[in-house]
Amino acid sequence: MEKFVINIGRQLGSGGKTVGEIIARRLDIRLYDKELINLAAKESGLCPEIFEKADEKESRGVLSTMIGYLRAPFAGDDGGMTNVLSNDALFKIQSDVIRQVAARETAVFVGRCADYILRENPRCVNVFVTADDADRIDRICRRQGCTEAEARTLMERVDARRASYYDYYSSRTWGVASTYHLSVNSSVLGDEGTADFILEFAARKLHEKF
């Protein structure tokens, strides 16, 4: 079977990562989410904490980067390096890692503009996973141990951050159906059913049998 990649964008609480994990398990392939941070750190020789701070956040811009540097130009820890190294540079390093992984293996990528980064790869299936607000809030409450109000606030904040990051680097629109090959509401089919649906779609698009 020729190598391919399934890229999953997701709303917070939609179960997108869980669906990705199910797909990866069924296909016996790797899922890359936070693992990309460690790979990018290893590739660049920088500490993972630097990439953590910039994870799915758009560039702060030259002015804020310089202000940060002037505040701590000779800091002895990673704080100084984070100020000097822009989020754009970190994005490029992580993008190179995503391309390297896609070139060597079949994989599932969650978030991090992977669909845009791999836009010239014809063996990609780009999916966006959403869910009803009530289901998203319930999932966040169970995972975070928080109230419904806190879950909604977190949901809105993280979604806004992901949208800003994606729109900034891709010049596309996060979450809009036309941006992806497939958009699916996990509230309709559940996590397992959504994974089934995505795999059926991917098989048809890629002319494969899973």
Give pLDDT tens digits for 176-208: 999 999 999 999 999 999 999 999 999 999 999
Residue 73, pLDDT above cutoff 90 = no
- Spatial contact of 127 and 9, defined as CB atoms under 8 Å apart: yes
Total-model pTM = 0.85
What is the average per-residue pLDDT within 135-151?
Answer: 97
Residue 63, pLDDT above cutoff 50 = no
**Mean pLDDT lowest for which of 2-6, 77-81, 95-99, 149-153?**
77-81
Q: Of 132, 99, 174, 109, which Cα lies nearest the Cα of 13?
A: 132
- Where does 5-206 sit in CATH, by number? 3.40.50.300
The pLDDT of residue 174:
97
What is the average per-residue pLDDT within 84-95?
Answer: 81
- Spatial contact of 23 and 6, defined as CB atoms under 8 Å apart: yes
The pLDDT of residue 80:
43
The residues, any chain, with a CB within 8 Å of residue 5's CB and separated by 6 or more, are 102, 106, 107, 108, 109, 114, 118, 121, 123, 124, 125
CA distance 210 to 191: 18
Beta bridge mates, 182: 127
Boundaries of every domain in the chain: 5-206
Q: Is the dihedral of CA 182, 187, 188, 194 positive or negative?
A: positive
Q: In Å, how far are 15, 27, 152 from 201, measured between CA atoms? A: 18, 14, 31
